Structure 1
Amino acid sequence: MAARTMGEYRPLKETISSMKSFVSGPQTVSGLARSAAFACALIAAGSPLAYAQAPQPTVESPPPAPTGMSESVAAVVNDQIISTYDLGQRMRLLIATSGVQPTEQTLPQFQREALISLVDESLQFQELRRVEREQKIDIIAGNEEVDQEIADMAQSNNMSREQFLQFLQSRQIGIDTLRQQIRAQISWARWIRGRYGSRLRIGDDQIAATQAKMAADAAKPQYQISEVLIDANRVGGMQQAMQGAQQLVAQMQQGAPFPAVARQFSALPTAAAGGDAGWVGQGEMPPEVQQVVEQMRPGQLSQPVAVRDGVYIVYLRDKRAGGGTTLVNLKQAAVALPQGADEAAARAKLEQLRPQITSCDTLEAAAAKFDGVVASDLGEAELSDLAPQFKTAAESLQVGQVSEPIRTGAGLHLVAVCGRRAAGGANMERDAIENRLYGQQLSMIARRYMRDLRNSATIETR
């Protein structure tokens, strides 16, 4: 038995052979993730991707139970054994939740991903137990937490707990396999948040810089993408990452749902949301990915894209051109006057009202104190589409300011500018920016933590 890196796991013939019966019929079942630790909602697959060429296979009767599967050692992690039975069970769970069709070509990838996951979980539990002993605290999730997570998964799929467990049993997946994965993910997320979460500080300068960048990018093209990153450090190198990504692309082109694949294989924080990264602009993607996305059309799936940390797969859901115009949000207080009518009284009334409007929020209440003055929200419009009188006022006013009385054919108006932004995308709230930066930093810390655990561990395979 020789020590190996994570990328050097050779096929375990016994496990592969025992899984052959699982490939006897179509098994596409996709996962609908909860935003909590583990995404394992199980439904009949249906590809949402416009690029799928092959018809979606239907789910047939469950495969026969594997025969001749004797339990032996698949790997040893710091003297802790991972059996071939554990490996086979995890492979079944991955197949059931990823939507990727098990074939002779994809089984080795399932085996590698399953073994990596089991090794990572072993390292996590070993670290958590060490911390519990040294610090005299409880971190590892109890049975009640795990059972509640399983109940939530069943409910999110419109199943009872019993139906959910029967589904797993129909795929020869032991409940202990699911429980182990859930327990590891809940416990590890709790430890990372507890150890590092309170130390992270997102400064006002970081938020301001992000807001400034978003404002500058609003006039540039934006892309609504879903993403998968195969982490080269995790799978054993760029060659393994590229091979795995190529197999996943081939499977998604045949109908495997992108969200299910992302949840099971992606190393990005967006994995929990099925890879949904939302709208991103230039500079928010790795340069290699941005070059590819700029050449894609909505509905297209990229080929694997090598980046510094691994290999990306991107699905372009939509894109929009950058806005060269300005959008303004306006409110008004107006007095109706026919053409040619004496406007002196109305003008005096609006002049008296104007200093009482301290913000857009106070405009309606202030206007209500004056007979004949009607307040209204004009909503958001492009500056270039406004009536000439309103456009001149909106161009010269700052947000929160109120114009002098403006004469139009309908009467006299006070116009308040309540918001201004460049066309091309909605502004992100400060709290949303802070949460996004916080999540990115916490995810980076967690990945580095796991990398250090792997590098210092003794991992042996047979």
Structure 2
Amino acid sequence: MNRARKVTGLAARGVVLAAAFAAAAAPPYAWAQAPAEQPAAVAAPAAPAAPQGLSESVAAVVNDQIISTYDLAQRMRLLIATSGIQPTQQNIAQFQREALISLVDERLQLQELRRQERDQKMSIVATDDELNEEIADMAKNNNMTADQFVASLQGQGIGVGTLKEQIRAQVSWQRWIRGRYGSRLRVGEDQVKAAQQRMEAAASKPQYQISEVFLDANRVGGMETAMTGAAQLINQMQQGAPFPAVARQFSASATAANGGDAGWISSGEMAPEVDAALEQMRPGQLSQPIQVRDGVYIIYLREKRSGATASVVNLKQAALALPQNATADQVAAATATLNTLRGQVTGCGDLEAKAAGVTGVVAGDLGEAEIKDLSPAFRQAAETLQPGQLSEPIRTAAGLHVLAVCSKRAAGAEQVTAEQIESRLFGQQLSMIARRYMRDLRNSATIETK
């Protein structure tokens, strides 16, 4: 046997598998150039009879635990069924490589979880009842009963045990990572504010709603292999393979668990090579393979919008009515009243409550408006103040006003709440911990392939 190259950079997989037998048609992808001629399809890998004792062939050994050729063939069949890709002579090696990488990782995960169960004397690995519940949910998502779903798998030569072992590793590992590290993670207010500022700054740049597949060159055996594999995947998606299913099974990006959905991004957030490709693409178009330093991207551009140049501000005000011909003493008295109020108010949250206790002062919510549409008297304050700040008293024909800036954003930018940003940052940190954990397991493991 030859010792295998350590496999690094695998994406953290989600619990939900792609619907293996969904009837919905794949989206119509356009491509900058006509795809290559579709390679001839081949039969899925043979499903040998269950191995008997020592007659079983060995595909790999992970810390003295065998992965058999039967295990490998079964996982390849499951991968083909869930990716929606037609196997060909050109891509069958890619299926085999992905299947083996997944099996190795799952063996490492379950070995670690069993060790933790022994050391901590607690149950971590998912039970058969939990696996049956997961399969029932998958069947429901495919408009089937659990029995019909299992029968469909078996009709394609896939044993239900193969699916159960994949789910067992995914569910158990995700639960362990969240249980062990989730309570320790803290996303600070400064992190949320910094993320909000980055989003506001990026809103002025062109924005793209994309889905992605990333093939890690180190993981798949080199850049040439990654480029070839990307071209094959593009060809299959042009023939109808669903992008989300392909991303779930082949992408090394953290977005794999979401079917490759990266949401809205701005120019400059990804590698320069990807930015250059996006500038030339139209919505509904699938990119050619995009080579970057560590691998190859496939991008599906779902939507595109120009960068926003206008700013939108959300305002509240406290005002004292004052005639246009008011005397200097009247203006001075009103100014003193509003300045006293300003000293008591901390921001938008308590402006109206504090103003209610001051005779003659009326407070209210002015809502959102583009700064350029505000009256000249209010525009300068809205441009210079930051969220949470209050203006000096502003004189208008109607009276004297104090403005409070509640929020400010670029027009057209996504309105993302602080809670949503916090949840996103939490997920990113947890995903990073999981990847590092897996990297350490691989580095300390003995992995051999035949």
TM-score normalised to the size of structure 2?
0.78
AA partner of residue 65 (structure 2): Q
The runs of 5 or more residues in structure 2 that have no matched partner are: 8-12, 36-42
Shift in CA distance, 412/131, structure 1 to aligned 2, threshold 3 Å: closer
Q: Distance in 2 between matches of 1:286 and 1:364?
A: 47
1:41 aligned to 2:19?
yes
Q: Identify which range, 230-239 or 94-103, moves more after superposition.
A: 230-239
Q: Confirm or deny: 8 A CA contact 1:45 1:256 kept in the other structure.
A: no
**Secondary structure, in 3 states, of the residue corresponding to 1:116?**
helix
CA distance in 2, matches of 1:329, 1:39: 42
1:384 and 2:372 equivalent? yes
Cα deviation for residue 332 of structure 1 reads 6.4
Cα distance between partner residues in 1 of 2:299 and 2:128: 37
Task: Provide the residue aligned with 1:452 in structure 2.
Answer: 440
How many residue pairs match? The answer is 422
CA contact (8 A) 1:78 1:458 kept: yes
Matched, 1:160 2:140: no
> Structure 1 residues 99 and 368 mapped into 2: Cα distance closer, same or farther (>3 Å)?
farther
Deviation at 1:136, TM superposition (A): 2.6
Letter in 2 for 1:38: V
* Higher relative contact order, structure no. (Cα contacts within 8 Å, ≥ 6 residues apart): 2
Are 2:283 and 2:301, in contact at CA under 8 Å, matched by a contact in 1?
yes
Going from structure 1 to structure 2, the CA distance change for 1:436 and 1:372 (only over 3 Å counts) comes to: same
Asked if the contact 2:211/2:300 (under 8 Å) is kept, the reply is yes
Paired residue for 1:16?
Answer: none
Could you tell me how far apart the structure 2 residues matched to 1:202 and 1:310 are? 31
**How do 1:109-188 residues align onto structure 2 when only pairs under 5 Å count?**
109-188=94-173
Q: Indicate if the aligned counterparts of 2:377 and 2:394 stay in contact, CA closer than 8 A.
A: no
- Of 316-325 and 253-262, more deviation after overlay is shown by 316-325
Which stretch of the first structure deviates more once superposed, 256-265 or 163-172? 163-172
Q: Distance in 2 between matches of 1:441 and 1:306?
A: 27
Moved more, 200-209 or 312-321: 200-209
Do the aligned partners of 1:65 and 1:172 also contact (CA within 8 Å) in 2? no
For the pair 1:441 / 2:429, whether they are aligned, the reply is yes
Q: How does 1:283-294 map to 2 (within 5 A)?
A: 283-294=268-279
Query: Could you report, residue by residue, the CA deviation over 1:156-209 in whole angstroms, capped at 9, with x for unpaired residues?
Result: 333332332232233222211111001001111223234444444444444443
Distance in 1 separating the partners of 2:212 and 2:281: 14
Aligned residue among 73, 84, 103 for 2:69: 84
1:340-381, CA deviations, whole angstroms, 9 ceiling, x for partnerless residues? 99999xx99x99899499555567778999999998755422
Q: Which residue of 2 aligns with 1:304?
A: 289
Is the 8 Å Cα contact of residues 222 and 282 (structure 1) preserved in structure 2?
Answer: yes
Label 1:372 to 1:448 Cα distance change in 2 as closer, same or farther (>3 A): closer
Q: Does 1:99 align with 2:106?
A: no
Q: Indicate which of 306, 309, 313 corresponds to 2:298.
A: 313
TM normalised by structure 1 equals: 0.76
Task: Single out whichever of 437-446 and 177-186 deviates more from structure 2.
Answer: 437-446
Are residues 1:461 and 2:449 paired?
yes
**Shift of the alpha carbon at 1:45?**
4.4
Aligned residue for 2:416, secondary structure, equals: coil
Task: Provide, for residues 283-323 of structure 1, a one-character-per-residue CA deviation record: whole Å limited to 9, x for no partner.
Answer: 42233323332332222222222334432222122222222
Cα distance in structure 1, aligned partners of 2:266 and 2:45:
49
- Residues 254-294 of structure 1, C-alpha deviations (whole Å, 9 max, x = no match): 22111111111122221121111111224422333233323
Classify 1:284/1:198 alpha carbon distance in 2 versus 1 (closer, same or farther; 3 Å).
Answer: farther
Structure 1 residues 335 and 156: CA distance shift in structure 2, 3 A: farther
Trace 1:36-435 onto structure 2 (pairs within 5 A): 37-42=15-20, 43-51=22-30, 71=51, 72-73=56-57, 74-331=59-316, 355=341, 358=345, 360=348, 378-391=366-379, 394-395=382-383, 399=387, 401=390, 404=394, 406-407=396-397, 417-435=405-423
Contact (CA 8 Å) 1:329, 1:418: kept in 2 or not?
Answer: yes
**Aligned amino acid, residue 118 of structure 2:** R
Asked if structure 2 preserves the Cα contact closer than 8 Å seen for 1:223 and 1:319, the reply is yes
Partner of 2:10: none
Structure-1 separation of matches of 2:235 and 2:413: 33
The whole-number CA distance in structure 2 between the counterparts of 1:4 and 1:390 is 67
How far the C-alpha of 1:434 sits from its partner, in A, is 3.1
Query: Structure 1 pair 254/6, CA: closer, same or farther in 2 (3 Å)?
Result: farther
Corresponding letter in the other structure for 2:26: S
Deviation at 1:437, TM superposition (A): 2.8
Alpha-carbon shift at residue 228 of structure 1 (Å): 1.6
Q: Aligned with 1:137: secondary structure?
A: coil
1-structure distance, mates of 2:317, 2:4: 71
| CA distance, structure 2, for counterparts of residue 317 and residue 405 of structure 1 | 48
State the Cα distance separating 1:424 from its structure 2 match: 4.3
Query: How much does 1:333 deviate?
Result: 8.0
Letter of the 2:200 counterpart: A
Unmatched segments (≥5 aa) in structure 1: 8-34, 55-62
Q: CA RMSD in A?
A: 3.9
Partner amino acid, structure 2, of 1:187: S
